[in-house]
Structures are given as structure tokens and as C-alpha cells.
Structure 1
Amino acid sequence: MNDEDLLRYSRQIMLPEIDIEGQKTLLDTTILLIGIGGLGSPSALYLAAAGIGHLILADFDQVELSNLQRQIIHSTDDIGKDKVTSAKETLLTINPNIKITTLTNLSEDNIDEWVQKANIVLDGTDNFDTRFKINQSCVINKTPLVSAAVIRFEGQLSVFKGYEKNQPCYQCLYPATNNSDENCVDNGILAPVAGMLGTMQALQALKVILNLGEQLTGKLMIVNALDMTFRTLTLNKDSNCPICK
């Protein structure tokens, strides 16, 4: 790290749990963020600011006016741009010293290639089929997965390491059958709820990378923003799970 880095990250470095070595670890880390929407926007902003050395941003969509209510990484001038392009431009204004790779063609055919490049994956997508594919790739490639979901006034957050013997994967929580996709397009969402969960998703990623404190591995946090309650449930590995059994 140079003098500019020491000043930029000084408030983190002064934390004894992080120090210079921890900051170096962050600078050497690659994170794959899948979905640069309501969850991915705050996650990416905080991870870039915290000094994650390489962010891989994956999203095939373009910025629309209706996104701006909650997808805070984009602005009105970005309408019509690829979300990954808009996000990259914003992130580099915050931290021009990090590397950012953009993907608009992440698919079942190449997801393993990109997961293998990452130390950790953040899933900010909004449909089960995509989440299942991300989870499967993370289990196969033994990569931690931080998964979040938001709708209306509610959110969920968990860390999955289904490749470990006694740890569940995402599909242990949600079997592939009998799932109906609910999303904010059809049901709505209060903007700060996405901000809360996306920020907590970034926090969990940093804690996993640095092995800090209590993590949500094998646990599910459920947030109700209307009454401001946080519940944490223990998740068990499904012995019949087709992905991580």
C-alpha cells in the first residue's frame, strides 16, 4: 500500500481486527457481484469504498427510470446504459484505484469460469432459477455465497458454504420444486429496505473475507422493516439436497 491507500483506508486500518494486514487482504480480494440492482447497488458502493481490489459486476439489463427509486448506484443520466457500465463509472469516482470487470453475458455456460476467479460471490438476483445456478456453481467451486432477497417491507440474508460437510447450501433452504418467484416488479418494495439488505450483504462479505465476528453461515436472518424486527434462524443441511449432499 502507498501513502494514499493508508490515508483512504485509515479508518478501517485503525480497527485492531483489520489493521494493515486485513486491508491488504481486502485489496487482494476478488468479489463477483451478480445483479446490480436494489441489492447490488449498495453492496458494490460499500465494497468499492472499503477497498476490495477487484469487483466483477454481472448484469445483462439496462437502467430504467423505475430502477432509480432503489438502485442508488445509477442516476437519471444513466437511463438506457448497461447497468454494469453505469455502476463501473460510479464506483470509479468513489475509488479509482480498484479494478472493475463488467459482464453482460454471464450464463449457465460460463458461470463456473467467473466463480473460479472470485474469492466470494454476492447474489442480488430476483428469480429462483438464477439463484439455483449460482448456488450450484458456488458449491462445485467451493466459493462462499452471500445471498440476499427483498420484497415489499421484508428482507432475508444468509451466507452459504454448502461445500463444507455440515453446512447447507441455498437449495437446502429452497428446494427446486414448489417455488413461485415473487419480485418487486409485481409486489413493490420500499427503497431503504433494499439499501439495508444490500449494505448488510456487503458487511457479511467483508466479515467472511476477514474472518470477523459472528457470521450468518448456516443461518437465515429475516428482516421486517415495518416493525423493525430481526430474526435469525438456524439452517440445517438437507441430506436429500441434489447439490450439496
Structure 2
Amino acid sequence: MPLPPLVEPIAALSDEERTRTARHARLHRLGEIGQRRIAAAHVAVVGAGGLGSPVVLALAAAGVGTLTIIDDDVVDLSNLQRQVMHRLSDVGAPKTDSAVRVAGELSATRVLPVRERLTPDNGARLLAGADLVVDGSDEFSSREAVASACESLGVPLVWGTVQEFAGQVTVFWSRPPEPGVATRLSDLYAPGSEAPACSAVGVFGPLCLQVGALMAGEALKLVAGVGEPLLGRVLLIDALASTQREIALRPARAAAAAARPATTDAPVDTVPEVDEPDDRAVLDVREADEVAVAAFPGALHVPLAAVLAEPTAIEGPVVVVCQVGARARVAARALRAAGVEAWVLAGGMDAWTRRHAASAPAGAAS
């Protein structure tokens, strides 16, 4: 069911803006009043890179009233393969400068550039006043800071990620109106999760546009109160197989709180971790080139995208491994949702290699 709109509509659109957004006004479920809500909205976008670029373009084109763009980075030549808001002439310039320019060339959207890195200390301050936040950051530490600030402010967080050929999109909201159910980043990823940087494993450029467009769409739906947002659902995208599927996202924190004594406040992770697979089968969800460098002994190799496309094809029980643990956690959640018993190898191949190197006898060959 649609949730109530986030904002009250402005009184009227200008003649120019009414003409520019006429195709929105003709949409049955959005209409002219929905467009006036969009014009009243203040959306904060964290990150002006691979995901933030298409988000800014789409939201400015849609006529969002105010966009706060938070990014402390400058444009690098290697960004241009996927960060479509920037141009060759922007290399070396702040990414927020591109956001101000392109928004001004598209609409009357007011852009507030913030050249700061969002942290746990400044997150609530930087996001204050926004009706909704879109997170396009690329490090888990930043994502956790954004999510924490949104939880404290009670505003919805449209969240997405891309890695290699796989993408995810969802909505987190700690205090949604009825009939929404509260979900948080910690329901999907354990605190302190990590993922390889795209500079290490790569990212398919067009996938950034696809995921960014979906994120912008979720933001507009929430602002206008139309459609069914991805609250309590995670959309999984496999660009290689050209498929999309979704898995349910349950509020693990609330469910676990009901099941454990009230005297404990230990963090809950719905995907258990193990340091060693023991007698269980091992599923390696890394890409072929990673496995060629360092294979886990005896593991079945099925790349993450293939696991997400058909999790029921995997026989459990199984311990899932990737390089540092983040992809394994995504795969394990999908497997468990499909009824396959699964664990995550704590810390991935990196941590497992360190553990075994530390336990090797002195003088053993490396």
C-alpha cells in the first residue's frame, strides 16, 4: 500500500514549471498535486558519484524543490566511466560543482552544495531539514553514519549499492507511518560490515544508472505518497543475467528483541558467522578472477549474481565465503530466505588467510 505523502504541496507551480513537468501531471496516480509535492520537497543526497550522479539528474529533472548534495571529493578521470554527472572538463574540480551546474541546466531546483564528509559526528546536522535522504556513498562506514543520522531524525533513507554486476535497492525508515514496518541498515548488514572498493573489483557503469534511477524513483514515490515503496523489501539486480528479484527484509532487531530476555541488549545479526567451515560445504561467491588468485580449498564456486538469481539451486548446509564478508552476507541472506541453511565465513578469505598464517608453525613455508 502507498504510504502517506511526506510533504504538503506548494500552492501552485510557475507557468514554466507546469509546462516543463506536464508529463508528470498527466500520470493518473501522481498528477498535478503530486508534482506540487515534489516541488515542495527537500531531498538530501549523500555522495555525488556513481549513484549520486543519476539520482541528482533525475530528481532535478523531476523538479524537486531543494537538493542538498553532500560530497567532499573531487572528480577523477577514472570516475567518468560511471559518474555521468561529470565531464572531462570537471576533472580536479569538486563533485558538488557538477551538481550545481547540471541541476541549474535542468530546472529551477535549488541546490545546496556541502563539501564535507558525512561522519557520525556531523550527520544529524548535515541532514537536518531534509524530508528524505538518498544514500549514494561507497563505504560502509559512511553508510552507517548516514543510516544512524536518519534513524535519529526519523526520516526515510533510500539506499542502494552496486558492486561488479550486482546491485541492491531498498528503503530504511526507523519511524514510518502506518502501515509501514520499521527497517534499518542493521537489518540487512551487520554493523562494521565491509566490501571491496570498486577500484579493486570493478563496477559495471550502466548498472549505476539503473540503480540510481530506481533510487530516485523511490524518493519521488515517498515524497508524493504514490505506489509501493521498497520498505521491507530489497530489490536485487543482476546486470549480467538481466534479471531483477526481491527478498523480504524483516526487522531483525525487533524480532530478536521479542525472542530474548529484556536484560540483554546485545546486537543481533540474522546471518550467523563461523571462523571455520568444519564439516560443512563451502560456497565461494567471488568472481572467477578472484578465485584464480586464491581459491578456498574444496569450495564450490558460484558467483554472487548466480546465487541471487537462483538460490534454491544451492544445497545446504553451506558456509558462504567472499573476500571480506559483505558479498557472502548478501548471498547467505538470500539462501536463508529460500530455506537453505547458510552461514558466513567471518571476515572472508582475507581474515581466514590471516588466521591460518598466524596459526602456521614457525618456519613453515609461506
TM-score with structure 1 setting the length: 0.94
Aligned residues: 243
Mapped to 2, the partners of 1:202 and 1:145 lie a distance apart of 11
Mapped to 1, the partners of 2:194 and 2:145 lie a distance apart of 16
1:17 aligns with 2:29: yes
- Deviation string 1:102-137 (CA, Å, 9 cap, x unpaired) is 011133322212322101000011111111111111
Tell whether the 8 Å contact from 2:181 to 2:231 is kept in structure 1 after alignment: no
1:46 aligns with 2:61: no
Q: Which among 197, 206, 217 is matched to residue 203 of structure 1?
A: 217
Q: Which among 89, 94, 99 is matched to residue 77 of structure 1?
A: 89
Q: Which among 218, 221, 225 is matched to residue 235 of structure 2?
A: 221
Pairwise CA distance, 1:70? 0.5
Residue 188 of structure 2 aligns with an amino acid whose one-letter code is: L
Q: Which residue of 2 is the match for residue 27 of structure 1?
A: 39
Mapped to 1, the partners of 2:181 and 2:212 lie a distance apart of 27
1:182 aligns with 2:193: no
Residue 189 of structure 2 aligns with an amino acid whose one-letter code is: Y
- Deviation string 1:196-222 (CA, Å, 9 cap, x unpaired) is 000110001111111211210011111
Mapped to 1, the partners of 2:42 and 2:165 lie a distance apart of 31
Tell whether the 8 Å contact from 1:160 to 1:217 is kept in structure 2 after alignment: yes
Q: Which residue of 2 is the match for residue 88 of structure 1?
A: 100
Mapped to 2, the partners of 1:231 and 1:67 lie a distance apart of 28
Residue 47 of structure 1 aligns with an amino acid whose one-letter code is: L
Pairwise CA distance, 1:56? 0.3
Give the superposed CA RMSD.
1.9
- Deviation string 1:126-170 (CA, Å, 9 cap, x unpaired) is 111111111111111110000000011110000011234842201
Mapped to 2, the partners of 1:7 and 1:45 lie a distance apart of 19
Mapped to 2, the partners of 1:2 and 1:210 lie a distance apart of 19
Tell whether the 8 Å contact from 1:121 to 1:145 is kept in structure 2 after alignment: yes
1:110 aligns with 2:110: no
Tell whether the 8 Å contact from 1:140 to 1:163 is kept in structure 2 after alignment: no
Mapped to 2, the partners of 1:109 and 1:88 lie a distance apart of 26
Tell whether the 8 Å contact from 2:99 to 2:111 is kept in structure 1 after alignment: no
Mapped to 2, the partners of 1:130 and 1:46 lie a distance apart of 23
1:231 aligns with 2:242: no
Pairwise CA distance, 1:189? 1.1
Mapped to 2, the partners of 1:202 and 1:7 lie a distance apart of 21
Residue 44 of structure 2 aligns with an amino acid whose one-letter code is: L
- The 5 Å alignment of 1:128-207 reads 128-164=140-176, 166-177=181-192, 179-207=193-221
Q: Which among 46, 65, 70 is matched to residue 58 of structure 1?
A: 70
Tell whether the 8 Å contact from 1:219 to 1:233 is kept in structure 2 after alignment: yes
Q: Which residue of 2 is the match for residue 119 of structure 1?
A: 131
Secondary structure, aligned partner of 1:85: helix
Mapped to 2, the partners of 1:182 and 1:197 lie a distance apart of 19
Identical residues among aligned pairs (%): 32
Mapped to 2, the partners of 1:173 and 1:209 lie a distance apart of 24
Tell whether the 8 Å contact from 1:42 to 1:195 is kept in structure 2 after alignment: yes
Secondary structure, aligned partner of 2:104: helix
Tell whether the 8 Å contact from 1:48 to 1:91 is kept in structure 2 after alignment: yes
Aligned structure 1 segments of 4 or more residues deviating by more than 3 angstroms: none
Pairwise CA distance, 1:91? 1.6
TM-score with structure 2 setting the length: 0.64
Pairwise CA distance, 1:181? 2.1
Mapped to 2, the partners of 1:48 and 1:107 lie a distance apart of 26
Secondary structure, aligned partner of 1:172: helix
Tell whether the 8 Å contact from 2:131 to 2:155 is kept in structure 1 after alignment: yes
